[in-house]
Amino acid sequence: MEETIFKRWSRELTIAGAIVLFLLPLIGIPGKTYITLTIAGLAMGMLLFLVASGVSIIFGLMDVLNFAHGALFAWGAYVGFTVFGYLMKWVEADSVLQNFAAFSLAIVAAMVVVALVGIVLERVIVRRVYGSHLFQILITFGATIVLVELIRVFWGPNDEVMTVPLTFSRNWDIMDVIINRYRVICIVVGLVVYGVIQLILKKTKLGMIVRAGVEDRDMVQAMGHNIFLLFTGVFAAGAALAALGGLAMSIFSLQVYPDMGGSFLLFAFIVVIIGGLGSITGSLVGALIVGLTYNYVAYLVPWAAAGANIMIMIIILLIRPTGLFSVGK
Amino acid sequence: MAEATPVQIFHMEEKRRQYRSGGFFLKVGLLALFVLVPFLFPSFKTVDLAMQIIMFATLVASFDILLGYTGILSFGHGMFFGIGAYCVAFLVGKYGTPSYANLALGFVIAALVASVLAIVISFLSLRVKAIFFAMITLAIAELAIVLATKLSGFTGGEDGISLNMPGILAVSFSAGNFLGLEITGRILTYYFILLACLGLFLAMLRFTHSPLGRVLQAIRDNVERAEALGYKTFIFQAISITFGCVVAALVGGLYGMWVGYVNPESCLGVLSIMLAILLMCIIGGMGTLYGGIVGAAFFMITETFLPDLQHLAKDFFPSAVFLHNVLERWHLVLGVLFILVVIFFPKGIIGSVREFIDRRK
């Protein structure tokens, strides 16, 4: 009997379990702080989702583990930094409209530039090593070295301070709970990106081909679609998402530095291992888990923050080795 | 006598040629060179350079057991190296007095910790896919750095730990002159480490040339086939990973002995140690063990003499701005070189040279 109950209610049980787990920190954290931390965690989770979704979909479709994603992330941050430099007046203006204009322009510029870098990367380097995981990792790792060094050449080797658009940095005060506006913006951006990706994947023909490619690459090719063009496109899209994540993150943490991609790539890997490689929803869930846990644990036991996520990853690997939402392969 | 199998014939051929081939003399010559370095070039810089080359060659060879012989990429090799260094440092630096027993105990503990950790990581990641190993080791290596930095009460934090060597290995020890060279504790440490590295290298050669090593290569080339032949691939991969990681930890302990100081940045750093190992292994040539020597020598020599090269370029070619910039951004050049080697010479320097010689025959 027990088994059937678990089977019938498995979905609800999982959700209930997750909710209980995330209310658990309430024992140690006062309510208002909990809400602030939750919003910070959700914002961080959304930023992680932007990076992890790219890693995940590139792996799902192309079977390529892209270690250069962290460098693309840093490139996005630096391109945004440059745009902010040119639009300093708009960034520092006390007007929501001008701030948003500068923010959107920076996003567009970062995504376009990094997508181009991604196309070059895929065409010149990654294409040569399809099929061999080992060489993919090696070559994308080499690309990371080169891309990070290029950042040092173009923008200089030092840390730079990232300016936050003035109106973004203010707080809302709702019933004595302090909510930072920029965090809410991050959450909205993340949700919009998730919605757009899902729409493209589920409702358009292109998305159908991509999903089919994740299931069975050879068959898509046999049906007459140019899978290599698709690969380049998906790689560029993943790079653009990484750039968006990098820009958003650099505003979040108020700084840009050449090696910033490394630690984030690591978080992205933890996210995709938890969520399951190749699944967008998995990336979202994994990213939120990682973001929330990081913030709660960082508040309760500061030194254990980095370890907590790795512990979660290990536990999930033990229970479900292929991640929470695993795709076919 | 029954007909010999192809493998047996190959072995017999190999044995007959072993002590006569040019390669053998090259290896002996190289060893002799390393033995004579303190006498030929007694300056601190060259002895230190030779020592670094020896230790990194052994470390890269142990990495090669994972990468070249098992086909598994680990980003945690630098971490195992650091664990070894820290274990020895704890025993003779922070928590114990410098004595031979403590030193030996440090190495034993290093090997134990490394083997347990390697087995745990293998069990976690290899169940799914070999590429998970790369991601998980990267995550755990980063965690190790964070822990070593944050738990400063236990590990000494960013400041690190200083090591003191016991008895004849101590810096202050002196045994008089020999052939015009003062035999100090440093020189004795040099020979001790040289001997230890030689032993580890021979052990690794034995490991890769054993039947076990052959199975590993079969798994690397075709996992499904090895599985179909009845080998439990998981067990073999776990054994190989554990062996490689234990060697790395031991080399880490030796490194701690030589440098006399460990801190998170110099011993655990993914970007410092791990990157160097990977570059040395790929450029030298993976799947050969000897590639490590070439890679380490190339890397260490350029790293040591790079400032000199930069000055030289500025003195002799003051107008060649491009050359200055190239030398200025040395890592960029290394990165490009790395990519080119992976694309065009996936066997590295040693592999390409061997191929060239084979083709000429």
ipTM comes to: 0.77
Q: How far apart are CA B283 and CA A204, in angstroms?
A: 45
Q: How far apart are CA B272 and CA B297, in angstroms?
A: 17
Q: How far apart are CA B283 and CA B295, in angstroms?
A: 6
Residue with tokens 């065009």: B344
**pLDDT band for position B245 (50/70/90)?**
very high
How many residues are present in chain A? 329
Residues from chain A contacting residue B73 (CB–CB below 8 Å): 134, 137-138
Q: How far apart are CA A71 and CA A75, in angstroms?
A: 6
Residues from chain B contacting residue A307 (CB–CB below 8 Å): 143, 146-147
Asked if residue A147 has pLDDT above 70, the reply is yes
Of B127, B143, B342, the CB nearest to A142: B342
From residue B102, give the alpha-carbon distance in Å to each of A311, B164, B253. Answer: 33, 11, 12
The 10 Å CB-count burial string (b at 16+, else e) for A265-302 is bbbbbbbbbbbbbbbbbbbbbbbbbbbbbbbbbbbeee
Compare A305 and A194 and report the one with higher pLDDT. A194
- Position A329 scores a pLDDT of 43
Q: For A127-131, A257-261, B199-203, B353-357, which range has the lowest pLDDT when averaged over its residues? A: A127-131
Q: Do A310 and B147 touch (CB under 8 A)?
A: no
Q: Do A263 and B142 touch (CB under 8 A)?
A: yes
The 10 Å CB-count burial string (b at 16+, else e) for B14-26 is eeeeeeeeeeeee
How much of chain B exceeds pLDDT 70, in percent? Answer: 88
CB-based contact, A215 to chain B, within 8 Å: no
Query: Which residues are CB-neighbours of B237 under 8 A, at least 6 positions away?
Result: B70, B72, B122, B126, B130, B216, B219
Q: Mean pLDDT across the stretch B293-308?
A: 82
Tell which of B117, B122, B142 to mutate to test the A interface (max A CBs under 10 Å). B142
Residues from chain B contacting residue A322 (CB–CB below 8 Å): 128
Token output for A263 = 């630690």
Asked if residue A132 has pLDDT above 70, the reply is yes
Q: Do B332 and A306 touch (CB under 8 A)?
A: no
- For residues A212 and A327, the answer to whether their CB atoms sit within 8 Å is no
Q: Do A259 and B271 touch (CB under 8 A)?
A: yes
Asked if residue A40 has pLDDT above 80, the reply is yes
Of B134, B140, B332, the CB nearest to A310: B140
Partners of A161 in beta bridges? A255
Q: How far apart are CA B173 and CA A250, in angstroms?
A: 53
Asked if residue A1 has pLDDT above 50, the reply is no
Of A134, A146, A310, the CB nearest to B143: A310
Of B71, B147, B339, the CB nearest to A125: B339
Q: What are the φ/ψ torsions at residue B175 (nearest 5 degrees)?
A: -120, 30
From residue B196, give the alpha-carbon distance in Å to each of A292, B26, B58. Answer: 48, 20, 10
Q: Mean pLDDT across the stretch B247-275?
A: 81
Q: How far apart are CA B126 and CA A5, in angstroms?
A: 33
Q: For A163-177, B202-216, B220-234, which range has the lowest pLDDT when averaged over its residues? A: A163-177
Chain A: closest CA distance from residue B209 (Å): 23
Chain A: closest CA distance from residue B173 (Å): 42
Q: How many CB atoms lie within 10 A of CB A49?
A: 31
What is the pLDDT of chain A when averaged over all its residues? 81
What does pTM read for this prediction? 0.82
Chain A: closest CA distance from residue B67 (Å): 9
The helix-helix angle for B275-284 and B330-344 (nearest 10°) equals: 40
Residue pairs spanning A and B at CB distance below 8 A: 90
Chain A: closest CA distance from residue B70 (Å): 11
- Position B242 scores a pLDDT of 92
Which residue spans within chain A are E strands per DSSP?
160-161, 171-174, 177-180, 255-256
Query: What's CA B181's distance to the chain center, in Å?
Result: 29
Q: Mean pLDDT across the stretch B343-348?
A: 81
From residue A116, give the alpha-carbon distance in Å to each of A72, A121, A240, B299. Answer: 11, 8, 9, 33
Tens digit of pLDDT for each residue in A236-278? Answer: 988 998 898 888 888 888 888 888 887 788 888 888 888 887 7
B290 DSSP 8-state letter: T
Asked if residue B329 has pLDDT above 90, the reply is no
Q: Do B271 and A307 touch (CB under 8 A)?
A: no
Compare A238 and A12 and report the one with higher pLDDT. A238
| Contact map slice: A 1-60 vs B, CB within 8 A | none
Query: What's CA A308's distance to the chain center, in Å?
Result: 19
Query: What SS3 class is residue A173?
Result: strand
Q: Do B143 and A313 touch (CB under 8 A)?
A: no
Nearest chain B Cα to A272, which residue? B135
- Position B338 scores a pLDDT of 83
Q: How far apart are CA A242 and CA A245, in angstroms?
A: 5
Residues from chain B contacting residue A328 (CB–CB below 8 Å): none
* Type of residue found at A319: I
User: Of B59, B64, B49, B101, whose CA–CA distance to B83 is shortest?
Assistant: B59
Tens digit of pLDDT for each residue in B41-82? Answer: 777 788 888 888 888 899 999 998 888 888 888 888 888 988
- For residues B70 and B219, the answer to whether their CB atoms sit within 8 Å is yes
Q: Give the containing element (helix H, strand E) for B165.
A: none
Partners of B262 in beta bridges? B161
Q: How far apart are CA B52 and CA B109, in angstroms?
A: 23
Q: Do B339 and A303 touch (CB under 8 A)?
A: no
- Position B355 scores a pLDDT of 82
- For residues A46 and A187, the answer to whether their CB atoms sit within 8 Å is yes
Residue with tokens 């021979």: B202
Q: How far apart are CA A46 and CA A49, in angstroms?
A: 5
Sketch the domain layout of chain A as residue ranges: 29-319
Tens digit of pLDDT for each residue in B139-195? Answer: 888 888 888 887 777 777 777 777 777 766 666 666 667 666 677 777 888 888 888
- For residues B343 and B282, the answer to whether their CB atoms sit within 8 Å is no
Q: Do B147 and A262 touch (CB under 8 A)?
A: no
Query: What SS3 class is residue A93?
Result: coil
Asked if residue A323 has pLDDT above 80, the reply is no
Q: Do B334 and A145 touch (CB under 8 A)?
A: yes
Task: Find the farthest-apart pair of alpha carbons in chain A and give their distance in angstroms, rounded.
Answer: 67
Of A129, A139, A273, the CB nearest to B135: A273
- Position A213 scores a pLDDT of 79
Chain B: closest CA distance from residue A110 (Å): 23
- Position A328 scores a pLDDT of 47
Q: Mean pLDDT across the stretch B192-218?
A: 88
- Position B270 scores a pLDDT of 67
Q: What is the DSSP track for A114-149?
A: HHHHHHHHHHHTGGGGTT-HHHHHHHHHHHHHHHHH
Q: What is the DSSP track for B171-236?
A: TT-EEEEETTEEEEHHHHHHHHHHHHHHHHHHHHHHHHHSHHHHHHHHHHH-HHHHHHTT--HHHH
What is the pLDDT of chain B when averaged over all its residues? 81
- For residues A275 and A285, the answer to whether their CB atoms sit within 8 Å is yes
Q: How far apart are CA B292 and CA B304, in angstroms?
A: 17
Tens digit of pLDDT for each residue in B6-42? Answer: 777 877 777 777 666 677 777 888 888 877 777 777 7
How much of chain A exceeds pLDDT 70, in percent? Answer: 87
Tell which of A137, A146, A297, A320 to mutate to test the B interface (max B CBs under 10 Å). A146
* Torsion angle defined by CA atoms of residues A117, A122, A123 and A129, in that order, rounded to the nearest 10 degrees: 150
From residue A185, give the alpha-carbon distance in Å to each of A25, A44, A93, A192. Answer: 25, 11, 18, 10
Chain B: closest CA distance from residue A241 (Å): 20
Q: Give the containing element (helix H, strand E) for B162.
A: strand B161-162
Chain A: closest CA distance from residue B356 (Å): 23
CB-based contact, A134 to chain B, within 8 Å: yes
**pLDDT band for position B199 (50/70/90)?**
very high
Query: What's CA B338's distance to the chain center, in Å?
Result: 18
Q: Do A262 and B271 touch (CB under 8 A)?
A: yes
The helix-helix angle for A133-155 and A69-86 (nearest 10°) equals: 20
* Type of residue found at A29: I
Q: Do B338 and A306 touch (CB under 8 A)?
A: no
- Position B243 scores a pLDDT of 92
Q: How many CB atoms lie within 10 A of CB A103?
A: 25
CB-based contact, A135 to chain B, within 8 Å: yes
From residue A210, give the alpha-carbon distance in Å to each of A62, A137, A204, A214, A232. Answer: 10, 23, 10, 6, 12
Query: What's CA A318's distance to the chain center, in Å?
Result: 24
Compare A305 and A255 and report the one with higher pLDDT. A255
Most confidently modeled range among A307-311, B210-214, B283-287, B301-305: B210-214
Q: How many CB atoms lie within 10 A of CB B184?
A: 17
Residues from chain B contacting residue A298 (CB–CB below 8 Å): none
Query: What's CA A14's distance to the chain center, in Å?
Result: 24
Q: Give the containing element (helix H, strand E) for A240.
A: helix A227-253
Residues from chain A contacting residue B126 (CB–CB below 8 Å): none
Domains of chain B: 43-360 (1.10.3470)
Per CATH, is A29-319 categorized as 1.10.10?
A: no
Q: How far apart are CA A310 and CA A316, in angstroms?
A: 10
Query: What SS3 class is residue A204?
Result: coil
CB-based contact, B152 to chain A, within 8 Å: no
Query: What SS3 class is residue B71?
Result: coil
- Position B171 scores a pLDDT of 67
User: Of B192, B189, B244, B190, whose CA–CA distance to B79 is shortest?
Assistant: B244
Tens digit of pLDDT for each residue in B73-121? Answer: 888 888 898 888 888 888 887 777 777 778 888 889 989 999 999 998 8
Task: Write the burial class of residue A139 (CB in 10 Å: 0-12 exposed, 13-18 middle, 19+ buried).
Answer: buried
Residues from chain A contacting residue B138 (CB–CB below 8 Å): 266, 269
CB-based contact, B125 to chain A, within 8 Å: yes
Q: Do B339 and A143 touch (CB under 8 A)?
A: yes
Residues from chain B contacting residue A303 (CB–CB below 8 Å): 147, 150-151
